[in-house]
Amino acid sequence: MTRMYLFVLIMVSVICSGSLAFAADKIDYPAKIAAAKTGIEELAAKVGNYPQALTEIDKARASLKKAEQGYDKGRQWMGLGGLKPEAEQEIAHNLQMVDMALVLTGSRAATGRAGEETAAVDKQLTLMKARVKQLEERKQSEDKLRQDLQKCETASKELTTIKADQAKLSAQLEQVAAEKKKLETQNLVLADEKAALAAQIEALKKASTAPAAAAQTPQTTTPPAAK
């Protein structure tokens, strides 16, 4: 009986040591699954609220669940002898899918972040465009005002010159008017003198015609006397 127990003990030890040696050669899937789980949760915590990224996180979780289920189903009797080859393949595949889903999550999050930042920059751009336009319009209106001011200054100078000319002309006009008045007065005086002279001439004419008539009358009577 003791031999029988000893034999069973030896057999169990051989199986266990064989199993352990076999397991040592194999990949440590529980550790890999745990690492994948940690990786998912760490990324989920810092990925931000981007729907597409969160969808990929869910897909990663689903793949991880498949890997866990595959591990649970694929374990051979009491965990001895490691995993079935097809289960190992499935677990490795699902873990790879988890890794890739995480890469995709990172990419989706980066796209989301870039999209958000672009939207924010777009807002700033719109604002800045409006400001620049406003400033340009103001500058244009200032330029126009400056040009108008320049025109006004030129016109003002011209006006001053014209006023000076006008003043000069007014003075000349006054002088001419005064001379005209003087000439008119002289003209009147001369007209009076002319009238007086004309009267004298008439008087003289009359005076010269009266003695001649008187002398003509005796001459007509004289010839008979001479006879």
Partner 1 sequence: MKRLIAGLFCLLVFTAGSGFADELKDASDRLQPLTERIAKISAGKAADYSKSQLATAQETLGAVKAAIAAKNGPLALQKAELVDLQLTIAEAKGAEMEAAEQLVLRRAELKKLEAQFDQLLQTGGK
Residue number with CB closer to partner 1 (80 or 106):
106
Provide the minimum distance between the beta carbon of 109 and partner 1 in the complex, in angstroms, as a whole number.
Answer: 9
Provide the minimum distance between the beta carbon of 139 and partner 1 in the complex, in angstroms, as a whole number.
Answer: 6
Provide the minimum distance between the beta carbon of 118 and partner 1 in the complex, in angstroms, as a whole number.
Answer: 5
Alpha carbons 159 and 101: distance in angstroms, whole number: 84
Provide the minimum distance between the beta carbon of 54 and partner 1 in the complex, in angstroms, as a whole number.
Answer: 14
Provide the minimum distance between the beta carbon of 97 and partner 1 in the complex, in angstroms, as a whole number.
Answer: 6
Residue number with CB closer to partner 1 (14 or 132):
132
| DSSP one-letter string for the chain | -HHHHHHHHHHHHHHHHHHHHHHHHS--HHHHHHHHHHHHHHHHHHS-S-HHHHHHHHHHHHHHHHHHHHHHHHB-GGGTT-B-HHHHHHHHHHHHHHHHHHHHHHHHHHHHHHHHHHHHHHHHHHHHHHHHHHHHHHHHHHHHHHHHHHHHHHHHHHHHHHHHHHHHHHHHHHHHHHHHHHHHHHHHHHHHHHHHHHHHHHHHHHHHHHHHHHHHHHHHHHHHHH-
Provide the minimum distance between the beta carbon of 151 and partner 1 in the complex, in angstroms, as a whole number.
Answer: 19
CA nearest 110: which of 156, 43, 203?
A: 43
Residue number with CB closer to partner 1 (119 or 212):
119
Residue number with CB closer to partner 1 (131 or 168):
131
Q: Which residues here bind partner 1, judged by CB under 8 A?
A: 86, 89-90, 93, 96-97, 100-101, 103-104, 107-108, 110-111, 114-115, 117-118, 121-122, 124-125, 128-129, 131-132, 135-136, 138-139, 142
Alpha carbons 175 and 197: distance in angstroms, whole number: 32
Residue number with CB closer to partner 1 (75 or 93):
93
Residue number with CB closer to partner 1 (120 or 190):
120
